[in-house]
Structure 1
Amino acid sequence: MRITFIISCLIATHFVSAQTEAPYQSKDSIDIENMLDTIIYEDQNIDLFETSLNGRVMTAMITETGDTLIMDKLDDISITSLRKFKTPEDYAKYMKFKRYAAIVYPYAKEAIKIFRETEHATLTMKKRKRKKHIKKLQEDLKHKFEQPLSKLTKLQGKILIKMIERELDKNMFTLIKSLRGKLSAFYWHNASKLYSYDLKEGYQEGKYEILDAVLQDFDISYRIEQDDLKEKK
């Protein structure tokens, strides 16, 4: 569900008084060409216009009382009902999984971001250049994440993998194969068996109901914005 919300940015009195040297700009002095629309807000006619906030062009309006309201959109959110558990053991397991999911959440979110950007950046690359790009990326990621990831428990590592598989709708074997090749995929698939994990299994909704309930509360999605791509070029 995409929710449109209005962030109220009240103009504080102490800020206005600090700008006494600047000429007062009334509501009527706003450039008419920037007006986008007129809406009714609490029985008042409010003009919408474009403004810049932290480098982003956003829609805003000034109310009759002088308040500035900036409008934006939230990402999709998940609203879930209160959980019901069959046994106290199931509840304890849910809470444990949720704690562990919170620990690995930042890594899962970063992994999805890196995957999406790499997927887009290498889309038009030739095989040799793509391989070189991914190898360099792997070295950078190893330096950045090897130490914190090595501290994860076996279960935390599994939850991290399930988070990623659930978001990308692909098993880890397929992901490794697409990025590193078939030999690397088979190597890590065999190595993962030492930890009782099957990289070909993937995320299967309904197989682990408690894990499903936990992962529904963690959004690790990432979409590539055109502005982000321009900055990276």
Structure 2
Amino acid sequence: MGYVLTENDTILSDTIQLPEIIIERHKMSDEDKKQFQLLQKRVYVTYPYARVAAERLTSLNRGMGKFTNKRDKKRYFKIVEDYLSNEFEARLKKLSKKQGQILVKLIDRQTGTTTYDLIKNLKSGWKAFLSNTTASMFDIDLKLKYQPFEVNEDYLIETILVRGFESGRLRKQEAAQPIDYDKLSDSWSEKANK
């Protein structure tokens, strides 16, 4: 090969000393693990709906921007609403109560607006009130915000999403208000240490 190694060669005598790294693993109880896996399953079921909601809302706003008068906007919205209703209503009705609660949070994460405010802005305050009242019968609050820095369940949801994006199980779509996961993890680590 044209190479001759001698005892004076630096490759043979130099070593690199790396600092010792201690990896802490928090053991989860069997019940906690079961609850986390259940939450993970619910997030995997509901996230695609939230992602599609954000995409459709963006295209709806783009389409509404093309119209100048209210009548045309209202007609366009009705067409889109009927299409979405036909496409998703049957599947959304099959979601469990807990999946519905998670979906409301994920819609806020993806759109930056609560489900209640979306209905209020797109339809009317009265429709939003009726929708929220109906949802409350199923223990779902349409005004619920996604707050991963304050609410533990939201932090766990964000953890599941990040893992799902990294593994390729979920198709990534940036949140309306991007979340720095490293800061989020550090924040929760500090809370756990207190």
Q: Same fold judged by TM-score > 0.5?
A: yes
Shift of 1:185: 0.9
Q: Deviations over 1:38-62 (max 9, x none)?
A: xxxxxxxxxxxxxxxxxxxxxxxxx
Structure 2: any 5+ residue segments left out of the alignment?
1-23, 162-171, 177-194
Matched, 1:90 2:28: no
Q: 2: CA distance between counterparts of 1:214 and 1:149?
A: 20
Tell me what 2:119 maps to: 176
Alignment size in residue pairs: 142
Letter in 2 for 1:134: F
2:100 partner SS: helix
| Larger fraction in helix | 2
Matched, 1:120 2:40: no
TM-score by length of 1: 0.54
Percent identity of equivalent pairs? 26
Tell me what 1:157 maps to: 100
Tell me what 2:151 maps to: 208
The 8 Å contact of residues 163 and 215 in structure 1, kept in 2 or not, is answered as no
| Larger fraction in strand | 1
2:113 partner SS: coil
Matched, 1:139 2:68: no
Structure 1: any 5+ residue segments left out of the alignment?
1-81, 224-233
The 8 Å contact of residues 146 and 154 in structure 2, kept in 1 or not, is answered as no
The 8 Å contact of residues 98 and 214 in structure 1, kept in 2 or not, is answered as yes
The 8 Å contact of residues 93 and 210 in structure 1, kept in 2 or not, is answered as no
Shift of 1:113: 0.7
Shift of 1:119: 1.4
Q: 1: CA distance between counterparts of 2:29 and 2:175?
A: 36
Distance 1:188 1:166, change over 3 A: same
Distance 1:191 1:105, change over 3 A: same
* 1:192 alignment partner, one of 135, 141, 148: 135
> Alignment RMSD, CA only?
2.5
Tell me what 2:52 maps to: 110
Q: 1: CA distance between counterparts of 2:78 and 2:39?
A: 33
The 8 Å contact of residues 112 and 220 in structure 1, kept in 2 or not, is answered as no
The 8 Å contact of residues 171 and 201 in structure 1, kept in 2 or not, is answered as yes
